[in-house]
Amino acid sequence: MSQHQLSPNSAGPSPVAAAGPPEPAPGAARARSAPDGLPRGPYGRSFRVLTAASLIFAYLLIVLGDTVRVTESGMGCRSWPLCNGQLGLAGNYHAMLEQSHRYLAAVVTILVAATFAVAWRRARGDRPVLWSAGAALGLIGIQVLLGALTVFARNAGWTVILHLAGAWLVAGAVTLTVMAVWRPAVPARDSAARRAPRVSGLGMATVVSLFALSVSGMLVLHEGASTACPGWPVCGLGGPAPLLTLQYLHRSLALVTAVFITAAAARAWRYRQARRAGRVLAAAALILLAGTVTFGAIVATTGAPPASQDLHLAIGSALWITVVALASLLTRAAGRAGADTPAVAAPARGAATGRQAGEHSIRSAVSEVVENCGDAPHSRAISAY
């Protein structure tokens, strides 16, 4: 219990009645303001460009890797890390394509390592930045080993699936780093803080569902289920039962994922904390979802031609990056629920019971007394609870 003296000419709400947002710690870096109103973060342009370049090249690596797969160029280089004993581009078209893929993987590895080095130096206290950059570095190391394993196993189907899944995880981790550097967390208040767990849960469910859909799609291709089901959206009867089951599992996951993505996009569009960035990502997710579904239908009904497969995965990978960014934005816009809320906040309607209701009543009574005493000719001591 503390005593607050009110001067005769004091006016306005008391510190007890209206507590503002917490002041930043002394020496804390100020976040820059972005055009959409969200803070841009305390990091310089060079670090932001580095993270963006890492994401762009990680995406290109996925696309080029799938081009290697659909053109059956994976065994163009029968040795690793050299390509048929050579360091430079040499040999036929398949060897040059596979070696180009390895060169691009080296570029991505350097960019991811540089991002982690800068994060370790400048953002060691920012856990989202440091942890996502560290995760990307660890995953790219695993990817290098999986690439070697794919060559040694002569492009066995399970190694190709693991390699693609790892590539998506690398792109996802780099996306999280980009979002953490470009869009730091926004303090949650009132209803936004109460909705934060639901928003975060929806984003996580969308990411997990889309990743599972990607893995099931690779299983469909490598098990030959794509040609066993030439119809869309239903297969019909007549194909091998195991392959039809795999196809229907993949398409069921596609339906569930589409529902999750649509719900997440709608939430981002209406969520005021996400602002314009949320609307841009929501629109991009819906457009890419439509493109992925369209090319999925083309792959199913045309016998899975290589070009259609490549476009299907390219658009799907762009959708993956967009969904991860959308989920990250929703979570970070919600902030840590309750961590940065005002010290004295009005309880939700009908939710204040017991001790909370009593404390709220006391605060309200004290506020009324303070306001009534603001015009008094003499100062008075008011007990603040």
Domains and CATH numbers, the chain: 38-184 (1.20.1420), 189-345 (1.20.120), 350-385 (no CATH)
Beta bridge partners of 381: 5
Work out the mean pLDDT of the chain and round it to a whole number.
Answer: 76
Q: Of 88, 248, 78, whose CA–CA distance to 150 is shortest?
A: 78
Q: Interior CA angle at 133 toward 102 and 24, to 5°? A: 155
Distance CA(308)–CA(295), nearest Å, equals 7
Counting Cα atoms < 13 Å in the Cβ hemisphere of 11 gives 2
Low-confidence ranges of the chain (pLDDT < 50): 1-39, 188-194, 196, 336-358, 360-362, 364-366, 368-385
Distance CA(99)–CA(326), nearest Å, equals 34
Q: Are strands 32-33 and 2-5 parallel, antiparallel or unpaired?
A: unpaired
Distance CA(96)–CA(100), nearest Å, equals 6
Chain length of the chain = 385
Task: Evaluate if pTM is beyond 0.85.
Answer: no
Distance CA(144)–CA(109), nearest Å, equals 9
Helix (H, G, I), strand (E, B) or coil at 339: coil
What single-letter DSSP state applies at residue 347? Answer: P
Alpha helices in the chain (DSSP H): 45-70, 93-122, 127-152, 157-182, 190-222, 225-228, 241-270, 275-301, 306-334, 355-372
pLDDT tens figures, 257-291: 999 999 999 988 887 666 678 889 999 999 999 99
Output 53-57 pairs: Cβ under 8 A, ≥24 positions apart. Answer: 53/111, 54/108, 54/111, 54/112, 54/115, 54/136, 54/174, 54/177, 54/178, 55/171, 55/174, 55/175, 55/178, 55/321, 57/104, 57/107, 57/108, 57/111
Q: Report the 10 Å Cβ neighbour count for 47.
A: 22
pLDDT tens figures, 117-166: 999 998 888 888 999 999 999 999 999 999 999 989 988 888 988 999 99
End-to-end CA distance of the chain: 5
pLDDT of residue 78: 87
Q: 38, 330 in Cβ contact below 8 A? A: no
pLDDT of residue 334: 56
pLDDT of residue 185: 56
Using omega within 30 degrees of 0 as the cis cutoff, is the peptide bond preceding 81 cis? Answer: yes
Q: Are strands 381-384 and 2-5 parallel, antiparallel or unpaired?
A: antiparallel
State the DSSP H helix or E strand holding residue 383, giving kind and residue range, or none if neither.
Answer: strand 381-384
Q: How far is CA 336 from CA 40, 186, 192, 340, 362, in A?
A: 18, 9, 10, 7, 28
Task: For the chain, state the CA radius of gyration.
Answer: 27
pLDDT of residue 14: 44
